[in-house]
Amino acid sequence: MWYVYILKSLKTGRYYVGYAEDLEKRLEQHNSGKTRLLKSHLPLALIYNEKYASKSEAYLREKKIKSYKSGEAFRRLIRNQNLEACQSG
């Protein structure tokens, strides 16, 4: 299983979109400072994820999300996730 995910920096409020096969391990790598790009943005919170059967599907979805990052489609994606979390929790 592959995952596309969105992280939010609790320090700067910026977002990061990525994909990984092991989501928990990847989040741990990010938050332990092993990802140079994100080191200055720690700590990071997982705010969104989707599952895919293949790496290629996850890669294409990551690219799609990045194409509308910080646009209305990106805000809608995050807002819908937050609504679903509130309704299920």
- Asked if pLDDT for residue 2 goes beyond 70, the answer is yes
Range of the domain at 67: 2-88
Residue 17 in contact with residue 62, Cβ under 8 Å?
Answer: yes
Give pLDDT, residue 84: 56
- Asked if pLDDT for residue 45 goes beyond 70, the answer is yes
Number of domains in the chain: 1
Region 59-84 average pLDDT: 83
Residue 2 in contact with residue 23, Cβ under 8 Å?
Answer: no
29 or 35: which leads in pLDDT? 29
What CATH number has the domain bearing residue 13? 3.40.1440
- Asked if pLDDT for residue 35 goes beyond 90, the answer is no
Residue 4 in contact with residue 58, Cβ under 8 Å?
Answer: yes
CA angle 63, 65, 24 (to 5 degrees): 90
54/75 Cα distance (integer angstroms): 26
Region 64-71 average pLDDT: 84
Dihedral sign of CA atoms 8, 16, 4, 78 in order: positive
29/56 Cα distance (integer angstroms): 22
